[in-house]
Structure 1
Amino acid sequence: MPAIYVLAARTDRPGMIKRAQQPQLFTPELKGWSLWLSRHNASSWLVMALILPFFLYYWFSYSQQIAREQQEIFQQHADALELNLKQRLQHFEFLLGSGMAFVSSSEQVTQAEWQRFVSGLDLDKHYSGIQAFGLVNYRSGKDIAALEQQIRADGVTDFTVHPAGERPFYAVVTHIQPQNNKNSAVLGYDMLTNPLRQRTAMRAASLGTIAVTPRILLAQDGSNAVEPGLVLVQPVYKAGALLQSAEQKMKALQGFVYAAFRVNDMMTRLWHNAHTELDFSWYSSAQQAPSDLLYQRQFGQQQGQVFAMHKELEWYGQPFWLQIRSNDRFVKNYLPVANYWLLFFLLLMMLLLFAVLSRVNLRRYHAELLQQELQQQLHAQYQQLIANEQRQALALKASQLAWFEFDLSTGDAFYSDNWWKLFGFATAQQHPTEQTMLDLLLPSERDIFRHDVQRILASGPEQFSQRYQFMHRQGQILSVLMQCQLLRDADGSALRLSGALLDQTQQVSQSEQQQQLMRLCQFEIASTVASCQLLVQQDPVVASYQLAHLHWLSQQFCQMVSGAESLPTLPVRLDFTALMPKLLKALSPVAAGNQQRLEWRLSQSPYGLTGYEGVWWQLCSDLMFLAMSLAQSNSCIMVGMDFYPGIISWQAELEVDAEQTANFLATQTNTAMLDGPSTESNDRYCALLAAKHWAAVLGAELNIKHEQQKLWFYLTVRQQ
C-alpha cells in the first residue's frame, strides 16, 4: 500500500532550519476475514480461480465417466434381460415348430400319439410356466359334428365344442397336454369365440407365421383367473397347398399348434437364471394400463439415482412394452460407486495451497507494513539528519570553520568548501587525500603534524588542539588552529579522524602587533626618559617640553595597546619653525655624547600647515635616534625640511660605516629582534620600526637610501 507522508516546516524566518514533523502512514487496519478477503490476498484468490475450473472439470468428467459406466452396466443388464426374455419365447417357438413338424408328419394325430410326443419333450423341465401344449382344428360349421365324433372315438368320450352356438368357422382345441383337470376343461374350447385369441389366430393364419396373443387370462384358470398369460399359435396347412396369398393360406388352413403359459411362472425361472436384480415391468399395450400388465417384479427400493429404460418390442406380430428400472440393491451390487477420496484429497490440497499462499501473501503484507513503518522511521531520521546537517552547516558557516575528515581504513579524505576557500582554491579538487593537507603545511610543520597524529593514534587522547602554519596558494603564511577528534571502533581501532581549521592569522598578527607596540612603548619611553634626564640639567625649558611629550606618549601607547582611538579626529595647526629647533635641542645631549653634530636647515614654513605635533615630534625623534646610532663619530648629521604645495619633505643626511649599515638594512625585517635584549642593533631596529609606525599613523612615506658611506632618510607627508 502506498505511503502518504505529511511534512510540515516553519519558514516564518529566513535562514531558519526546517523541522519535519513525524510522517504519518494512512493505512486501513484489516483483521480477520476482512484481511483474507482483501486485495492483499488477491494472488491467492487468483490461483484458486485458475485451479478451481480444472478441479470442477475433473470432478464433472469423473462424475460423467462414473455415470456412463453405470448407464452402460445398467444397459448391459437390461439388454441381457430382454435377450433372456426373447430367448425364452423362442423356446416356445421351437416347441411350436416341433409340434407342427410332428403334425405334418402324420395324417391324423391321435390322443395317444400326442401324449407320447409331448411326454418326450419334458415340458416341466424345459418350458417353465407352460400350462398347455396342444392342437387346434380349424373347421367350418358343417364339419363340427364330425369333429366331435372323431375326437370321442379317439378316447375323449365327453368331448364337446364350447361355448355352444352356431358359427361359420371353429378353431377347437382337440389335443392338449399335460393332462390334468384344468386342461381337460379346455378340450373342445373354440378359440374364435374370444376376440383376442381370434385376432391372434387369424393373423397367424393369414401371415403363415407364429403369433402371440396380448395379455389374456388362460382358459385353464376358469372365470376366477387373475394371473396373466400368453398363447402362441402356429398355423398348420394342408400338405402341398399353395400358400402365396392370405386367401390361399386361409383356404389351406387345417388348424394350429399352440402353447399357453402363465407369464409369472415363466418369468420367475427366467429371473432366477438372469442373475440380475433390476426392477421389471412388461406390458402388452402402449397405454401401459394395469389391465395390460403382464409381469412386474421389484427387487429393491427406488432411492437416489434411478436408471430406467422404456422399450417397445414386437414379438410375433404383437407389440410389447418393457420398463426396466434400477433399484438400491442393483446399484449396490452391480454399479460402480464414484470414489471421491481423490477429489476430496485434491480439494484438501487446493485449500492447503490457498492457505499457504494466503499465509505468504499476508506475511508479505505485514512485512510491507513493517517496511513502511521502518521507512517512516528512516524518513523521520533522515529529516532529522537533514535538519542536523543544516544546523551543522549553518554553525560551520557562521563559525567559518574549515573541516575535514580522514578515513583511516581506506585512506580517503574529505575537505569542506570552506577548507578549500581557506587556502585559496576556487573549487574543490578531485580525489583529495591526506597528502593534500600535508602539502599545504610549511615544511617545518609537517613533521610536527605527523608526530601529533601518530601520538593520538597510538595512545590518545581522542581530542587535541594545535596551531600550525600553512602556505596560502598566493604565498602568504596562514596561522591556523586545528582541532581534531578521533573515532574508534569497539576494539579500539582508529576509524576516522575529523577536524576543523580556524584561521587565526589576523588574531596572531594583531597579537604580534600588540607585542610590537608594547616593545616599542618600552623603547620609546625609555629613550625619552633618558633624553629628559640629560635635558634637566642643560635646558630645563626643553626638558619640561620633553616631559610633557613623555606624558602624551605614554597615553598614546596605552590607548593603542588597548585598541582605543589614539589621535583626535582633526589635525591642528603646526609651527614647524618653532617645533624643529626644540627637537634638535632635545637631541643635542645625545649627539654630543656620541661626538656628533646636528645641523638644521629649514626653509620658510608656509602659514596654515596642519598636523599632529606629538606624532611629528616622536617620528622625527625616532629617525634622529636611528641616524645618531648609525652615524660615525665626529660626523655631522644634516637635517632639513622643505615645504612644497601640499607636500612636506623632511630629510636627514649622515656619514655611516658602509658594512655596518648594509648589515642593518639586511636585517630590518627580522621581527625576532623585538624580543631580544636591549643592544645597539636591537635598539636601532626598534627605532626604525617605531619610525615606520608613526609614519603610518601620520600617513607619511619613509624611504632610506644608502650609497657607500652615505645614508639618507626621506620623509614625505602630503597635505590634504
Structure 2
Amino acid sequence: MSDPAIHHNQPHGLRQLFSWRNGVAWGMLAFTLLVQVVVWQSLRTNEDRAARQQFQMLGEKVTEAIRKRLRDHEQILLGGAGLFDAVENVSREQWRTYVERLLLPDRYPGIQGVGFSQAIPHAERDAHVARMRAQGYPDYDIHPPGQRELYTSIVYLEPFLRRNLAAFGYDMYSEPTRRRAMQRAARLGETSITGKVTLLQETHGKVQAGVLLYVPVYRPNAPLTTPEQRMQALIGFVYSPYRVEDLMRGILRAADLPLALHIYASPGEEPEHLLYASREAPEPGSAGFSQLQQLDLYGQTWTLRMDSRREFDERFHSNEALVFGLGLGLSLLVFFLTSSLALRHSRAQALANEMTRHIRQSKHDLRLSEERLSLALKGSNDGLWDLDLEAGSMFVSPRAWEMLGYRPNELTCDLKLWERLTVAEDLAQQKARLAQTMLSNVDHFTTELRLQHKHGHVVPVLLRGHIQRDPQDMAQRISGTLMDLTERKRVEQMKNDFVSTVSHELRTPLTSISGALGLIVGGALGSAPPTMQQMLEIAYRNSLRLGHLINDLLDMEKIAAGKMSFELREHSLGDLLEESLASNQALCEQHGVRCTLEHPTDVLVWVDGLRLQQVLGNFLSNAVKFTPEGGEIRLHSSLRGTKVRISVTDQGPGIPEAFRSRVFEKFAQADASDSRQKSGTGLGLAITKELIERMGGAVGFDCVPGQGTTFWCELPIQIPPAESDCRDGQPRILVVEDEPDTGRLLHMMLREGGYGVERVQSLHQAREKLAASHYEAMTLDLHLPDGSGMQLIDELRDQPAMQDLPIVVISAAHQFEQAQFPAGIVWLHKPITNAQLLVAVEQARDNIRQARSKPR
C-alpha cells in the first residue's frame, strides 16, 4: 500500500517542473534539441554522399561485368578462328570437340552456342548444297531463298540441338542488321556486334531480344592490307548468338544488385532498340538515384540506364528514425536529469522518508515472521536444522539438541554430524537412501531415522526436508524439521503387538475349527443330514475366509514393522508361472473358469520365488472372484525393454472409475457395503504392491469398463551372471553395473586399455565373483537391483583379504554422496571418457600401492 504523503506531494512536484527554478533544465533541453537537428542534418548529408558513391560504384561494376563477359566471348570466337587458321579444313567433329572443351553452360551462362557461317559466292552455291547433303543432311538448303551475290550459310553451330537446329543453313547476310555487322567485321578484320535482332532460335517460349558477335576468318597467307583484299580472302565468320535476357542473367546472377537496369542498342534511350529491362523496375522518376552510361562495343554503342531500387534507397536512411529517437530520448534524459538535480533536496527527503518507513515495516514483518515461526515450532514441538553444502556447515535448533539430550552446539556442527548421531547399523542404508534422494529431481523428502541419544537410548525421528538446487539440479542447501516419534512409535508398537497377539491367538483355535469342519464336510465322520451339511459347508468356507484374513493381517504387520524377509535369487520366470498356474488350477475349476498361460519367451528374474507366487496367487484369486462361470482367465507375460511384465486378465465387469485411485490401498473395496456380493479383506492388492516394490518392481492395472481388467507387475530382467573377456597375463577387472548399455561401454573401454574384464549386474553376483577369483581392481555402480554399492564397499573394507582392492565408483551423484565413502576410493562423475576411466583405474591401483608401502 502506497504512502498517502507521497501522493499528496506529487502535484507540488509537477508544478515545480514548470517553475522558473527549473529554467536551466529547459535551457538544456533547447540546446540539446538544436544539437540534435544539426547532427541529424549532417548525418543525412553524409548518407546521401555515401549512397551516391555506392550507386556510382555499382554502375561501374555492372558496366565492367558486361564489358568483361563480351571480351571473354570474343576470346572464344578468336580461338575458333585460330582453329580455322591452323587446320585447312575443319571437320564438323573437330568443331564439336572444340566447343565442348569450352564448357560453355558452366563457365559462360547465357551464350546460345558457337558456330561457323561459311561465305559462299553465288557461283558455288549449288556445289555447296550438294556437299552438305552428301554429308548426311538430305534436307539441307540455304535459306531464305533468293538470288544473292554472296551467301553466308550457317554450317556449324554447337550445341547442335533444340533451338539451334532452326539456324542450320541460314544466310545471315540476307538480313540488313546482321549484314552491317558482318561487313564491318570482314572489311576491318575486327570483331563486330549487331544491333537488336530476333534470333532464329526463338522457336518457342518468350521471345527475347538478340544480338550476334562475329569474328571474320580469312584464307591463310592471303593479303589482308585493304578492305577489298579482306573481302576477297573471306571464307566465313565464327560467331555466337545471344538471347540478351539469358546473357544478362548469366552476367549479373552472382551480383544480386539493388538496382534496375535498362540496356538500349543505340546512343539514346530509344524504345525500339531496348535489349534488356530488369524485372520490378521502379516507376520513371521515382528512383532515388539514376545514371546513364554509354558502352562502346565492337562497332555498336549501348546505352545503359541504371535506377536504384527501394531497398537501396532505404539502406542508407533506415537509421534516421532511430537516430532521431535516440537524440530526442537523450535530450529528454538530460532535461529530466537536470530537473532532478535542481529538485533533489525535496526528492531526496521524500525518498529518505519512504525508505525509513519501508525499513521499519520490514523489521516489523520480520519480527512477526520470526514470532510465528517460533510459535509454530513450539506448538509442533519440532526441531529445525539446515545444511549448507557449499559452505560445509550445519545449523541445529535448540529443540533438536534437546530431543537428543545435548546442549546447543555441544557437538561440532558439520556435514558429518548426522552420521555421528545415526544408529550405526542404520548408517549404510540411510546413506544409500540419501544418495538416491540427491540424485532424483525431487525438492521435498520425508524419511524416518533412528538417532542416538546422549544417554545411549535410541530416539526415532521423522525428518522432513527441502532441497535447494542450482540451475544444473545440483543440491546446494537442505533445510527441514525434526519430529520426535518416540510416543508415536510406542503407540504403534502397542497396536502391532495387539494385532500380532490377537492374530496368533485366533490362529490356533481357528486351525482346529477349520480342520474339524473339513473332516466333517469331507464325510470322514459319516454323512450328515442335507440341512446340516449345508450349514457345515457355510461354516467351513467362512473359517477358511477368516484364516486368509488373519494371514493377510500378519503379512501387513510384518511389512509395516519391516520384518518381512526376502530370499532373492535368480529364477526362471517360465517355471514360476507354470507353478502358479498349477497351484491355482483347483480354485479355477471350483468356480468353473478356465485359466491359460501365454509365455512366449523365458527370462531370468531376481526375486523371492515364494513371494512372487503369493503375488500371482492374489492376482489369480482376484480374477477368479470376478470372472463369470464359464469364462476364461489369461496369465501372460511380455518383454518391455529391460523389464518383463506379468499380467492376469479376467472377464469381469471392470473397476469403477471412482475406485481406481484406491485399488492398492489397505482395506479398499469397490463395493464396501454390508451387502456386497464379492467377499474379501481388501488387503491382497496392498500386500501385492508392497511385495513387488520390495523386489524392485512396479504394479498397475489396465481396465475398460465392461471388458474386464488386467492386473500386472513389472520386474527387471536378469542378464546371465557374467560377461568375461580375460586372456592369460592380463590384469583382471570386475565391472559391477546393472545398466546393460553402460556395462557394455565400460567392458569395451577397459578391454581396449589392455585389461581382462568380467561383468556382473548385482551385489549377489559380485560377492560370488569376488569370493571365487582374484581381481586387480573393480568398477562399481552405486544403485543396484539388490542394494547399494555402499554396502559392498563396507563389506570389502571389513574383510582383511579385500581391504586393498582398488575401487573406482562410477556415478552421477552429487559431491555430498561422494563424501560418505572411505578414503582411497577414486570417484568418476558420469558421463566419462575412455581416457578418464583408464586414468582412474591406474590412480586407484597407485593409491593401494602407496598405502601398502607406508609403515603400519
TM-score, normalised to structure 2's length?
0.34
Greater relative contact order: 1 or 2 (C-alpha under 8 angstroms, separation 6 or more)? 1
TM-score, normalised to structure 1's length?
0.40
Instruction: Please say which structure displays the higher CA radius of gyration.
Output: 1
